[in-house]
Amino acid sequence: MSLDWLNPMWWLVTGVIVFKIVALADAAVRREDAYPAADKKTKAFWLLVLGLAVVLDLLFTNSVFGIFVLAGLVAAIVYMVDVRPAVRAVSGGGSGGNRRNAGPYGPR
């Protein structure tokens, strides 16, 4: 029986992988035309970058390719912090537009 889950590094690596998978899934469900409309790279570009980040993370977590794992983490952070909010605002999802000051019973 392996007790890897007791190791804090295991939790860190697992969290990074889950974060990258969430970023990839989010990029996959966004509309393709929203990316250029938000003045960002194309959907295919982000799917390729984030997909490679997940694959490299799963294959080379404990090897000399650690720099690629970090580069993939940076790409996922850039997507989640910069690209995702812009694409959501353009496509009408999330807290964009008139909903910023809206409470549960309408505008405040």
Tell me how far CA of residue 81 lies from CA of 5, 11, 21, 74, in angstroms. 29, 22, 15, 10
Q: Is the pLDDT confidence value at 96 over 50?
A: no
Q: What is the mean pLDDT of the chain?
A: 85
Whether residue 104 has pLDDT greater than 70: no
pLDDT of residue 94: 59
Mean pLDDT of 6-33: 91
The three-state (H, E, C) secondary structure of the chain, written as one string: CCCHHHCHHHHHHHHHHHHHHHHHHHHHHCCCCHHHHCCCCCHHHHHHHHHHHHHHHHHCCCCCCHHHHHHHHHHHHHHHHHHHHHHHHHHCCCCCHHHHHEECCEEC
Q: What is the pLDDT of residue 29?
A: 96
- pTM reported for the whole predicted model: 0.78
Q: How many CB atoms lie within 10 A of CB 30?
A: 20
pLDDT in tens, 47-83: 999 999 999 888 877 665 678 888 999 999 999 999 9
